[in-house]
Structure 1
Amino acid sequence: MNKREKLHSELKEFIVNVGWTHKIHIVRADEYVSYSKAFKIVRIVLASLTSSGLIGILLTNDTYILKLITALLSFATAAMNGFDKSIDYDKLSKKEQVDANKFWELREDALSLLFDVVYETKNIDDIEKDLKELKQMRTIYNNELDNDIPNRTVNKASKRLKNRNDNVYEEDYAKFISADLLKLKKGMG
């Protein structure tokens, strides 16, 4: 395998790797948005029920059950508010989107290098140097990530791309790379 073929193969695998990371973090961001919406709905419902209970206490004879239910609803509302404040799902979603976008940029840069390899528009040593820099950036970005991603998130991302088949990149290339860049052009190089 010559240097050009090696770089072609490395770039395809790099693109797929960062493509997967991007998709996983996009799915995680979507999950956080869903959690945030669910919390808001639950908080609104609990607050409404608490208000209804208070109105019921004021307008009816004092009943112990109504007071107890209203107190429990009030506690649940306060607990939900505290929980929602301690875990800011909107902020977490934005962070996941920013992380995902970094990997998308790596993917785009690698696609450009792949184009350079396929069509020999750039010196092969320069491409190798640029790929090394992209790999270093990927390592830096990976170290900044929240690596506590639940399996269900990975599974959702996988289903969005294909039925799960980790490390079988031949099937993934078509999902992340234009068909004209998948093979080296004959007579070049």
Structure 2
Amino acid sequence: MSLSYDLAFEDQIRECYGRVVYTHKTHERMADRCASGLRFFKWAQITLSALTSAGAVAVVVQERDSIEIATAALSFLTLFVAAYLKNFDPGATAQKHRDAAAKLWNIRECYLSLLTDLPKLPHNEAVERRDELQSMLAAIYVGSPQTDGKAYMEAQDRLKNMEDMTFSDEEIDCFLPLSLKRAGGRPRSVAKS
């Protein structure tokens, strides 16, 4: 087996890993946007309902045409928002994107593990693991909701500029016991008390 063949295989695994990282983050962004949309429409529904109720009380007390017209308009807007939420459920869509992201997280971590293990794995075993991951990924994509360009651009910004997937040694060290810390150099020995 030639060195260029090994590099081509590793390049393919790296490419797959990168695509899964982006797809995972894109589904997270879509879930966040759908959840924000749901919050907006729920608040709009509450506000319109409150204004419609206040208008109905004002019509009884004031009996003015302008209040009746405004209350009727608010009532139609309330109905429109309710009908929109009945036909389009941003909450369920957000959950579908969260589910897809959760499944993709596992695939992402499996690709990372494969890249880490690649130098030690026999080529046939590495090919088998790659093929398993591709099959698992295909099954996830079939059941996942569509994402859009805006979510992809947000994911790209978070991954490239905000470094969502990167950590400094100091950040990782915060979670580790002293014997596993790296920042400032790994300790040679841990003093026993």
Who is 1:75 aligned against?
76
Over the matched positions of the two proteins, sequence identity in percent amounts to 27
Following the alignment from structure 2 to structure 1, what is the Cα–Cα distance between the partners of residues 115 and 149? 31
Aligned counterparts, 1:26-41, within 5 A: 26-41=28-43
Following the alignment from structure 1 to structure 2, what is the Cα–Cα distance between the partners of residues 24 and 71? 41
Amino acid at match of 1:136: S
Who is 1:107 aligned against?
108
1:160 aligns with 2:158: yes
Who is 2:131 aligned against?
132
**Counterpart pick for 1:57 among 59, 66, 80:** 59
User: Between Structure 1 and Structure 2, how many residues are aligned?
Assistant: 166
Who is 1:6 aligned against?
8
Asked whether the 8 Å contact 1:16–1:176 carries over to 2, the reply is no
Higher RCO structure (Cα 8 Å, ≥6 apart): 1
Amino acid at match of 2:142: N
Which runs of 5 or more residues in structure 2 are unaligned?
169-193
Deviation (angstroms), 1:64: 0.9
Deviation (angstroms), 1:153: 1.5
Deviation (angstroms), 1:4: 3.7
Which runs of 5 or more residues in structure 1 are unaligned?
164-171, 179-189
Q: CA RMSD in A?
A: 2.4
Following the alignment from structure 2 to structure 1, what is the Cα–Cα distance between the partners of residues 105 and 153? 20
Amino acid at match of 2:135: Q
**Counterpart pick for 2:47 among 32, 45, 48:** 45
In the superposition, the TM-score normalised over structure 1's length comes to: 0.79
Deviation string, structure 1 residues 133-170 (Cα, Å, up to 9, x no partner)? 111222222232333x332121111111126xxxxxxx
Following the alignment from structure 1 to structure 2, what is the Cα–Cα distance between the partners of residues 98 and 55? 45
